[in-house]
Every structure is written in structure tokens, then in C-alpha cells.
Structure 1
Amino acid sequence: MQQPESENKLKVVLCWHMHQPHYRDGEDGVYQLPWVYLHALKDYTDMVWHLEKQPNAKAVVNFAPVLLEQLDEYQAQVHQWLQDGTAMKDPLLNWVSGAEAIPQDIDERVKIAEACQKANAPTIINIFPAFREMVDLLNDSKLLNEPNHTLMSYLTDQFFVDLLVWYHLAWMGISLRQDDERIQRLMAKKSGYDAADRKLLMQIVAEAVAGIIPRYKALQDRGQIEISMTPYGHPIVPLLLDFNSLHEAMPHAPLPSYAQYPGGSERAHWHMKKGLDVYKRYFGGKPKGVWLSEGAISDAAIDLLDEYNIAWCASGEGVWRHSCEKSHIDEHDLNSKKALYRPMKRPENQCSLFFRDDGLSDLIGFQYKDWRAEDAANDFAHHLTNIANFVCKEGEKNVVSVILDGENAWEYYPDNAYHFLLELYAKLSDHPRVELSTFAEVLSDGVQPRELSYIQAGSWVYGSFSTWMGDPDKNKGWDLLVEAKQAFDKQVRSGQLTAIQQKQATEQLGICEGSDWFWWFGGYNPSDSVRDFDRLYRSHLRKLYQLLALEAPKNLDVPISFGGGDMENSGTMRRN
């Protein structure tokens, strides 16, 4: 008997991917970029707060294990400073807290001035007049582009204290600003922040960062969200397993100088096992799903997930289309995208595959920031209603997968997307044709995967691996990694490393295998960001050689890439 449309709701999964790479310098252990704790204050707090405030809403939240460890480390360091004054491993936190005095060196002052402007000015700086005034002073005097040592030396220490305090206040999530009277009090003061104010700010930071993992775990434990993971260091697993998987979507792209990544299968298993250990430590148990880094999948990568009894993974619409074409999925179901709204599975695998609706996901990632919040939420719901009317006619259960960064897009929205997310969750939680769900629930609720005979390897970006391999700079980065892995293998085989040395080197290798280094190499990215990630990557490789008791090659002193582009919504996944 045909199910009434009113009862056959379209399932919708909102999957927020939380990820930051390993920002600590490989050699001195100092955090080179502050994005872990700043996104913690602004985005991880707001995202969990919205779900806490709307208990009928559901979502999947994916955490990269290397991010979880850094969140834990930050909260521990800030609490330690509050307890006994031990300096932290982050220069910005040391300066804003007073753990280190404001430097008198002009170049160091320029670094503070530059660091405190790393934000989307229209939504983070300009909305606070006291903060905007200080930034205008810096820019009007051209202190950053052409540092005037006389003018910079005339700026008082108090100016830099106020600048640092305001930078951190501006990065506070809307939920923290609304709920914490201490933040409101600090903002109302406007200037002249003293030691007590700075300590109060650090107490706020410590509490906010320490609360993130427990708050998400509480939502998981009551069944409101599903928490998934990526393999530990966020590597591109298909490329670890086989460089030739690049050619499935890009047949003529040049490979690195080396034919394969040595011991790639063993390394992929290591990232899975390490990731599962970290997940269990923070959330208990084992995840039902794994978001392979960057939605990068291949036949071999799905086989790997089967070995760990993973129920689901997901990728992008480009991979779906290429795979459907080669699997000879009905042309109408492909062109109309009807086949996109069912999970898929190869007959020989247990792991089900979900595929991202790129259009809907990119509306949130790129378009709705310029809309009225209510109009944006209504538009999104209207799209879902149209999909429901199209695919839910014959009693079949269908699912729409909306997958995007859970952190970077909100910086470009007014009020950190507070109004949009409030409207979106409210609209979808009480929609007559839509049911918010999770990937695991979708499978347990009887949405039957459709057979997919062939998977074309690729990622959620363009359905290929072009963001990580095939470009001269990216390939150069892989060549350096392969050479380091060869040195690692040789030292391990020699038996000269102690068990502790081998463990440390193995974990350092995992950091070097992360996807983010290769993401940033290439001419299309901003030169400042490319420079930062280039230095950090080579620092991690040098640390690996150090742990192996080997001299680092001289070519690690030479920059890999210089960038020069202007990427839309910097840090956000590219528009498809």
C-alpha cells in the first residue's frame, strides 16, 4: 500500500565537518597559527549551542582527531597558566594574558598588529568601534605595509594590550557574548584593560575551550547528534594507498617523482587505528561513520573501512556523478539527481556511501551569507520541499546530504550566522515534509542503499584529487614526504631506534601525512597563507628527521610554494 506523502518525509542530514591541522611548530612546539582556539571560541561553541537550544534538531558532527587533541592541549595549557603562571605554547595567548610582556622590538610589534587583523573585517572587526579605531590607526599610518619605526615605537604597551584583548573579544561566539556577562563587561570597558581584565579573559577562554568536547558528547549521549571521525592525521587515504588513483579523474595529471607512497597501506591502517583510539578517549565507544579526509574515496579506501566495520562514509557530488556514469545508473535518475538522494553501496562492501548535494551545501557555504536569515532558511526549505515532492512519491525513503565545514563559512555571515542557523534549525525541525536525521539513523530507519558497481576515486572538491596532487608544487611536497618516509623505513629496519623514539617518529610522520599541507601549495592560494603552511610543513619534516637521529636534507630550507591567488572565503572548501 502506498505510503501517504505526509508520512513519508524526506530525510535530511546536516553534517558539519570540524577540522584544523596540527599548528604546532615541529621543532620548538610553539603554535604558529591560533586557529584551533579561535575557532573554538567562535564556532565550536556556537555550533553546539544552537543544537542545545533546539533539541528537536539533529545533525552529524565530524571531528578530526588531531583537532580534538589540540583542543585538549589548549585548555590544559590555559588552565596551567591560570594556576601557576606557566607560559603557554601560543604567542598570542602569552601576549594577551601577560604571560609575556608586550615586546619593545619593532618587528615583534608589527607581528602583533598583523596577527590582530587576521579576520574578516566587515563581520568581526568593523562591528566593534573601539576595535575598528585601533585597526584604522595602524592602517592609516601604514605601519604594516611600510613599518614606520618611529610611529610604532610611540604606540604604548597599553595600545597593544587593548588591541590583543579586542581581537579575542571579537572572536567570541555569539552564544558566549549573549550568555556570559563577563564578556559583556569587558566589551563595555572599551579600553585600558588591566591585569585583572586579562586574567578574566583567560578564564573565559579556558572554560569555553574545556567545555567543547563534553558538550558535544552530551548531545551524542542523548541521541541528538551523531559524532563521526576522520583518520587521525587527516591524510588523503586513496593517495596513501595508490598514487595512481589520481588518474581516475585526471588521466593526464603528472604524478610525483616516486611511483607510490612507500608502505601506504600500513600507514592508512595506522591513521585509522590511531583515530579510533582518540575517538574512544573523548567520546567513548566507536564511531559508526568515518568521513575520509576531504571526502576522498576509492575502491581500496572503502575496502579499508570494511576492515573496521564502519557503517558509512560520504563524499561529494562529483564522485557520485562519475561513479554513477561508470556504473551505468539510469540516465534519468542521474540527470535529475534522483539517484543522489539514496545511499549507495558496492555489492562486495558493507560500508554505505552518502553523497553531498553540492548545490544545497554551497548555498550555505557561499551564498546565504548575503541574504536575510529568514529568506535564506525559507529558500533552503523550499528547495527541500521540491526534492521531497519529486522523490517521495512512491513510498521510497530518501535522504539529502548537506555536508560542509562547520567553522569557516560563518565568519562571512553577520553575527557568525547566529540568525541564519537559528532560522534553519527551527524551520527544518518543524517541517511537514522534512525530517532531520543522522547517517546512522537513516540506515537503521530503512533507507535502502542503491547498488553502485563502480567507484571512481575522487574527493568532495571537483570530484578529483587536484587540490592535493598533480600540480608541480604539490608534487614537490609529496616528493619530500616520500623521501622522509624512506628515511623512516630505513631507520626502523636498522633497529637503532628505541621503542620511544620509534613511537614519536611514527606519530610525527602521521602529522606530515596530513592533507592540509598539499591543499595550500599552488598558485591559486593567498601568498601569506601559503608561506605559513609551507614553513610549518617543512618544520614538521625536519622534526621527523630529528626524531630519526638523522640530519635533515638541505632542500627542507627551500620554500616549496609561494601562492599569489585570492581564494574565495579563505579556508572554506572550494565552490564546486
Structure 2
Amino acid sequence: MASEAEPDSRTPVVFCWHMHQPDYRDHSTGEFLFPWVYLHCIKDYVDMAAHLEAHPQARAVINFSPVLLEQIEDYLIQIERWRHGGAPIGDSVLAALVSENLPEPGSTGYLELMDKCLRANPDRIIRRFAPFARLAEVAGVYHSRPEIQRYLSPQFLSDLVVWYHLGWLGETVRRSHSVIQSLQEKGHHYSLDDRKSLFNVVTELIASIGPRYRHLSQTGQVELAMNPWAHPIVPLLLDLKAVKETLPDAPLPGYESYPGGAERAKWHLEEGKRVFERFFGQQPVGCWASEGGLSQQTLSLFSEEGFKWTASGDSVLNNSLNKARSEKTIKKAPGIHRPFQFAEIPLTVFFRDDGLSDLIGFSYADWHAEDAVGDLVHHMEEIASNHTDKANCVISVILDGENAWEHYPENGYHFLDELYRVLESHPQLRLSTFQACMEQEEWHPQPLPYLVAGSWIYGTFSTWIGDRDTNRAWDLLCEAKGHYDEAMEANTLNAEQQTRASRQLGLCEGSDWFWWFGDYNPAEVVKDFEHMYRRHLVNLYEAIDCPPPPSLFQPLSQGGGQPPRGGAMRPGHES
């Protein structure tokens, strides 16, 4: 380990954990249609903070989606309003913890709440806890024998609601919180007081997210970053034809360009910065482009908006290097483990090592933690030893910071603890952040003439555009944008209505809806997300006082696939 007086010559390793959930609210009612925001708060966001707190020498970049931050804030507002006698909490699963009268056995509400409280990883969450597994087994009988539904005890649903939340809790909470340990030991026959005590823990955890990450940022352990407000694919907003840079034969939607896309892309960045500063009290230095979606135009826009770094997948870099080689603008291709700069745009671009990132996302969950970390660190040591430009070497591991862990034993507790333990005092590698890397004296990004547009998934935009279902979704969005523009030009909306409409349009522009369309994805999840997308579009038409077209009420996509990890994550390279 180098002394404070000596420069640290160890190779920097940057883990960038991306925290994102789309907007699950129906803004016409204020209701959360799905509970994933607060469930990831009490499981992943608190665990990821706790692991860093337990290893003070560890460093990481944490990227928060602004629309996620707003939803966390909304949960806290709704909880406080309810506590002071206001409206009920607009999330049926969370509200069930404090409901004095749960739905009656045999009712539609009973069945709906029961089904919602079974949406968890069956191996890592449900079957881990014997009482939860027994409840799930009873629920299965309930479904197969509808004639016995009326005979179930109300206590069944009360216990299921408690175990659903206990199962979703972060492992660091489970190991340290006396209330949680007491409830787990009790095992069954939970009272309303039990549910309320669990609700109080849940509320504490949601409220802790902002302060904990702000503190980690202030101590220098964490660099906080953001993506555009509602997580849109910025290159496609700027130019739908960007898909053809890597897929020249990809069919375009009926609209060949998104109306006013440049203005909308800029709006997402500026709105995102406003939300980020309100939540964390600072402006971000870096912007993880939604899904690593970059293009030359996108780099220019990010730079104009004041960002100093961005990142994508190594397939985007390889496509750009291949183009530079074919045009003979470079002779020898540099490796991926270094910073880059394109066409003199003053923005540093990092590229994730897809191989290392995907090992964490798709392979190590079934390994023993020490073996997994040993394998990962060995790969990193090899990279560091073989790199020819030590001063500009950086190993970037970028991936989802929430969905991966439900596939690991105990929410990835042992893997993450071992990972930070080994790397915070490694003789050859040092944990760092992108901002810290850029402050090194000898830091010189590799210049390249042009970035070939693409995302971190396969280096293309095929996930979001170019097939029947995604193109239909783009056509619906482009049509709605045309009506939105007409309403704005007519100047019939007041300032508050215009702001509401602009934000509602922003939600429709998010990438998540397009992600789930197509036969690749599970039918149940496709149904959820295509319903949310059409609901957001209907709310947009209502916001601009325009009747929605009949086509908006026709299902877009069916799904039916069985992708790894349920489709919430994808590998960077096609297998």
C-alpha cells in the first residue's frame, strides 16, 4: 500500500451500480400500481449502502435515476399524510401492513393481495423461510380449489403480508434489527400491532436512503451520478435512424423521426439535474446514459449540459474502433480498460468490461462467495498486469445495482462483503470512482474520431426499436407527441397544466416500456408493462385535453419467453 506522500500506482477499479425503477404511479389517481420502488428500497438500496458503510476504504459510483428518487420522495409524503389523518397510502401492498380490515376471504381483493404477496424469487426468498413457503403452498391450494376460498381464515392474509415484507428485507437489516428478528422468530399469527411495527421499520428504511447516500458522498466513498430524468434512450429521441448505424436493415416505425426530440432530450437532462440536486444537495459530475445509449449527438448534448463523463458497454467501443480502423484513422486499437474522448468533445467516456460485469449479473450467484470474488479479482489482476499504459488504465464494472441480488443467497450479502473486503486493501488494485480517476495528473483519454451509436446491450438499439411491437409503441408515442405539440402551440393550457403535460410526456418517453415489449420476455411482466405504458399515454392525452385514439386501447405485446433472470437484466454480448 502506498503512503500518503507517494502516488498510488495501483490500478483503479470502478464499480458503477445503477439504481433505477420506472414510474409505477398512475398520475391520474396518485396510486402506485406496483410496489417495486419501496421493496427495492428496503432490500437493495439499504444493503448496498450498508456494505459500503461496513468497508470505509471501499469506493463506488452509485447512479440514481431521478424518476426513482421522486417516487421514494412520494412514498414518504404519502406515509406522512396518512399518519396525520390524510388520504390512504396509494400502494395496496404497503397499505396492507397498517390496514385494520384486510379483504375478506373469497373476495376479489383477497385474491389480488394474495397474488401480489407471492411475487418474489421462489428459491432465494419464498422457500428460504419455512413459514413463507407454507403460506405459498396454501395459496397454491387456494387457486386450485376455488370452492374452499370462503373458508380461509383472515389470519392467512395477515401472515402472508408480513412474510412478504420480511422476505424482501435487506440482509443487513435482517441481521441487525431486533424488531425484524423478533417477528421472524414469532413466525405466524401476526397481529395488527405486529404489522404496524414492521411498517415502522419499512418507513425508517425508505427515509434513510437519501441521508445515507448523501453521507457516503460527503465522506468521499461514493460518487453520485444520474441518468436522464425518466430513463429515455437519448440517441433515439435525437434520431430514430441512429439504430441503423449498427443495424442498417432494421425497420423503422411509421414515423422516421421523433418530433422535437432534441428539445425533449435536453428537457430530461435538465429536469433530472433539478431532481438530483433537490435530493442530494449537489450537481452530478457524470451521467450514465440510460442503458448506456450513446451517439455522437448524445455526447455533444451531455457536454453542453455540463457533464464531465459518461459510459457505455464495450460493444459500443468495439464498433467505434472497427469504424476507425476501416477508415484508417487509427492503426492499432487500444484496449477497453482506459478512458476515451470522441471528436474533441470535452467529455470522458468509460466503457464497462462486459465480461466482468456479466459474471456478477449472470454467473456468480450460484458460486461460493469466496470462489466468485477470487475469480473476479484474478481476472482484474490479469488485466492490470498486462495493460501497457498503467497511468491510464481503469477497470470499469457497471451493472444493475438492484435486480442481481435476489438471485444470490441472502441478497448477495456474502459476495458483496467479500468483494469489498478483498479490494479495499488489495496490493495491485484500488477501488475508485470515475471522478477521482479524472483528477489524476497523468490522465489522458484516448482520442477517437467518431462514436458509433449503440447501447451496452449488444452494442445496438435492438431491444427498444426495430421489431413489430417496439415500432408500434414508437408510433403511439410519436402520434401522442404530435397532439402534445399542437396543444402547446394552441396555448390553451395554463403554466401548471403545461408542466404536468410535459412531465407526463417524459414518462411515456422512458426506455422501460420498450424494454419489455416482444416475444423474448415473460408474458406476465409484458402484460404489466404494456398496461403501464398505455396508462401513461392515456394520462398524457387527458393532460392535454385531447381524446386518446382507439388504437391506444389495443394490447401492444404478448410476451411468452423465459429469459435468464426473468428478463430484468440482460448480458452485454449476444451468446
TM-score band, normalised by shorter chain: over 0.9
* 1:225 correspondence with 2:226: no
The CA deviation string for residues 439-472 of structure 1, in whole angstroms up to 9 with x for no partner, is 0111111332101111110001110000000010
* 1:427 correspondence with 2:422: yes
CA distance in 2, matches of 1:418, 1:240: 39
The one-letter code sitting in structure 1 at the alignment partner of 2:304 is E
The one-letter code sitting in structure 1 at the alignment partner of 2:368 is R
Aligned position for 2:3: none
CA distance in 1, matches of 2:389, 2:259: 50
The alpha carbon displacement at 1:104 in A equals: 4.4
Q: 1:394 to 1:344 in 2, by over 3 A?
A: closer
CA distance in 2, matches of 1:562, 1:394: 49
Aligned position for 1:464: 460
* 1:236 correspondence with 2:237: no
Aligned position for 1:67: 68
Q: 1:241 to 1:472 in 2, by over 3 A?
A: same
CA distance in 2, matches of 1:174, 1:82: 28
The one-letter code sitting in structure 1 at the alignment partner of 2:458 is Y
CA distance in 1, matches of 2:318, 2:329: 12
* 1:289 correspondence with 2:290: no
The one-letter code sitting in structure 1 at the alignment partner of 2:517 is F
The CA deviation string for residues 30-60 of structure 1, in whole angstroms up to 9 with x for no partner, is 2111100001111000000000110100000
Aligned position for 1:165: 162
The one-letter code sitting in structure 1 at the alignment partner of 2:46 is T
Within 5 A, what are the aligned runs for 1:87-126?
A: 87-98=88-99, 101-126=102-127
Q: Which runs of 5+ in 1 are unaligned?
A: none
CA distance in 1, matches of 2:428, 2:253: 49
* Structure 1 vs Structure 2 CA RMSD: 1.7
Q: Note if contact 1:85-1:99 (Cα within 8 Å) is conserved in structure 2.
A: no
CA distance in 1, matches of 2:88, 2:517: 33
CA distance in 2, matches of 1:365, 1:35: 19
Match of 1:447 among 443, 447, 454: 443
Greater alpha carbon shift after TM alignment, 166-175 vs 94-103: 94-103
Greater alpha carbon shift after TM alignment, 54-63 vs 73-82: 73-82
Match of 2:385 among 383, 386, 389: 389
CA distance in 2, matches of 1:244, 1:465: 10
Secondary structure at the counterpart of residue 391 of structure 2: coil
Aligned position for 1:560: 556
The one-letter code sitting in structure 1 at the alignment partner of 2:437 is V
Secondary structure at the counterpart of residue 315 of structure 1: strand
Q: Note if contact 2:11-2:394 (Cα within 8 Å) is conserved in structure 1.
A: yes
Q: Note if contact 2:329-2:449 (Cα within 8 Å) is conserved in structure 1.
A: no
CA distance in 1, matches of 2:260, 2:390: 48
Match of 2:274 among 261, 274, 277: 277
Secondary structure at the counterpart of residue 461 of structure 1: coil
Greater alpha carbon shift after TM alignment, 493-502 vs 411-420: 493-502
Q: Which runs of 5+ in 2 are unaligned?
A: 1-5
TM-score by length of 2: 0.95
CA distance in 2, matches of 1:298, 1:395: 28
CA distance in 1, matches of 2:29, 2:101: 17
Q: Note if contact 2:308-2:347 (Cα within 8 Å) is conserved in structure 1.
A: yes
Q: 1:468 to 1:122 in 2, by over 3 A?
A: same
* 1:179 correspondence with 2:197: no
The alpha carbon displacement at 1:155 in A equals: 1.1
The alpha carbon displacement at 1:317 in A equals: 1.1
The CA deviation string for residues 516-546 of structure 1, in whole angstroms up to 9 with x for no partner, is 0000000010000000001111011001111
CA distance in 2, matches of 1:475, 1:347: 31
Aligned position for 1:304: 301
Secondary structure at the counterpart of residue 67 of structure 1: helix
Q: How many equivalent pairs are there? A: 564
Secondary structure at the counterpart of residue 255 of structure 1: coil
CA distance in 1, matches of 2:113, 2:421: 41
* 1:129 correspondence with 2:130: yes
The alpha carbon displacement at 1:310 in A equals: 0.9
* 1:11 correspondence with 2:12: yes
CA distance in 1, matches of 2:202, 2:190: 16
* 1:195 correspondence with 2:196: no
The alpha carbon displacement at 1:19 in A equals: 0.1
Q: Note if contact 1:410-1:416 (Cα within 8 Å) is conserved in structure 2.
A: yes
CA distance in 2, matches of 1:78, 1:494: 39
Aligned position for 1:209: 206
Q: Note if contact 1:520-1:530 (Cα within 8 Å) is conserved in structure 2.
A: yes
The CA deviation string for residues 96-119 of structure 1, in whole angstroms up to 9 with x for no partner, is 321653244533322222211211
The CA deviation string for residues 390-430 of structure 1, in whole angstroms up to 9 with x for no partner, is 01x56433001000000000000000000000000111111
CA distance in 2, matches of 1:130, 1:331: 62
The one-letter code sitting in structure 2 at the alignment partner of 1:528 is E
Q: Note if contact 2:423-2:429 (Cα within 8 Å) is conserved in structure 1.
A: yes
The alpha carbon displacement at 1:376 in A equals: 0.7
Match of 1:352 among 340, 343, 348: 348
Match of 1:259 among 252, 256, 259: 256
* 1:437 correspondence with 2:432: yes
CA distance in 1, matches of 2:199, 2:80: 9
The CA deviation string for residues 319-366 of structure 1, in whole angstroms up to 9 with x for no partner, is 0100111122899964xxx52011100132001100010000001001
